[in-house]
Amino acid sequence: MFKDLDPILHSQLRLAVMSLLISVKEAEFTFLKEKANATAGNLSVQIQKLKEAGYIEVIKQFKDNYPQTICKITSIGIKAFEEYVKNLQVYLTQK
Amino acid sequence: MEQEKKLTEQESLHLITMMINKAKESYHDTGIGAIMWGTVIAICSLVRLSEVQFDYKLPFDIYLLTLVAIIPQIFISIKEKKERKVKSYDDPYLDYIWLGFGICIFLLIYISNNIFGEWGSWANEYKNITGRSASFRFNEYVAPLFLMLYGLPTFITGAACKFKPMLWGGIFCWICCIVAIYTSIKIDLLLTAASAILAWLVPGIIMEKEYRMYKKEQAQLNV
C-alpha cells in the first residue's frame, strides 16, 4: 500500500506534470499537454487540483491576442515532490 | 495519458525519470544567432586579413559589420523567446552572460583604440629619435584578448546546455588565445576566423539541424 505517498501526486497525469515542472522554470499548458500526452480537458482538471493544493502556480495571460496558460511549480510543490520521491525510494528499498 | 490509472512504485519512478528527461530534451535553440555571429566574425577577420596581406584598405572598417549584426540579433532573440513554450532555470543567466560579453567586447574595443592611439604616437616619436621601430606592437596583442573573451560565454553556454560542440568551441578559443600571443597579426586573424567558425558557426549549424529534426518530429506527432 502507498500509505505514505502523497495522494495528490500519486496520480499518473499529476505526477507527470509535476515531474515536467520540477525540471523547468515555467512551461506553457500546450507544452505540458504535448509532453504528458494528455487531453486538454483532463490536463485542465489535474492542473486545477495541483493549483488548489498549492503545488503549482497558474498564470493566465494573452500572447499575440491568444490566451496563454503558464504553469510554475511553487516551493510547496518542490517540497512535496521531494518528499514523494524520498518516500518512494524508502518504499522500494524496504520492499 | 489516463489520469486514473493505478501506479506501482516502479511505474512512478519510471514516469518521473521519463518526464524529467523529456523536459530536458525540450530545450532546442534555433542556432540562427550562432550561425550569424560565427559568419560575421569569420568574414570580418578574413577581410581584415586580406587587407593586411594584399595591402589595401576598404573605405569603411569591416568590423562595423558587427554593429549592423546587432539589429537582426534583436529580432532573432525576440522571435525565439516568443516561440519558446518552456523556460529553463538557466535561460536568464545565459542571457545576462551574453549581454555582459557584448558589453565587454565593446569596452575592449574602446580601451584598445584609446591605448593604441596613445601608444602609436609614442612609437612614432621613438622611431624619429632612435631611427629604430619599437619592438612592442600593441595591435599584435589585441587578438588574444578578444579570443579570451570569445571563449568564456561559449564555454559556459556549452556546459550549461550540455552541448559539447560549443563547450569544445570555447576551449578552442582559449587555445587560439595562447597561440595568438606568439604569432603575427596575420595568423592572429586566421585564428580568430577559425575560432568563430568552430565556436559559433559549426555548433550553430548542428543546433539548427537538431532544431529542424525536433520540429519535424513534433509535426509528425501532432498529425
Return the C-alpha cell found at A62.
494573452
Q: Which residues of A touch B220 (CB under 8 A)?
A: none
> 3-state class of B100 per DSSP?
helix
Q: Return the closest-CA partner of residue B35 out of B65, B6, B69, B71.
A: B69
pLDDT at B136: 61
| Mean pLDDT of each 10-residue bin along chain B, 223 residues long | 68 90 80 96 95 91 92 91 84 92 93 80 79 68 92 95 93 97 92 97 95 81 61
State whether ipTM is beyond 0.90: no
Residues composing chain B: 223
Domain count, chain A: 1
Q: Domain boundaries in chain B? A: 30-83+94-207
In a domain, A7, yes or no: no
pLDDT at B137: 64
How confident is the model over A29-54, as a mean pLDDT?
Answer: 93
Domain span at residue A70 reads 12-90
pLDDT at B199: 97
Q: Which residues of B touch A88 (CB under 8 A)?
A: 9, 12-13
Say yes or no to pLDDT of A95 above 70: no
pLDDT tens digits, B30-43: 899 999 999 999 99
| Pair B177, B144: CB distance under 8 Å | yes
d(CA B77, CA B23): 21
In a domain, A82, yes or no: yes
pLDDT at B168: 97
Say whether residue B10 is in contact with chain A using an 8 A CB cutoff. Answer: yes
DSSP B60: S
Say whether residue B2 is in contact with chain A using an 8 A CB cutoff. Answer: yes
Output the domain CATH number for residue A18.
Answer: 1.10.10.10
Q: Which residues of B touch A30 (CB under 8 A)?
A: 85
pLDDT tens digits, A52-92: 999 999 999 888 788 889 999 999 999 999 999 988 888 88
Q: What is the pTM of this model?
A: 0.80
Return the C-alpha cell found at B7.
501506479
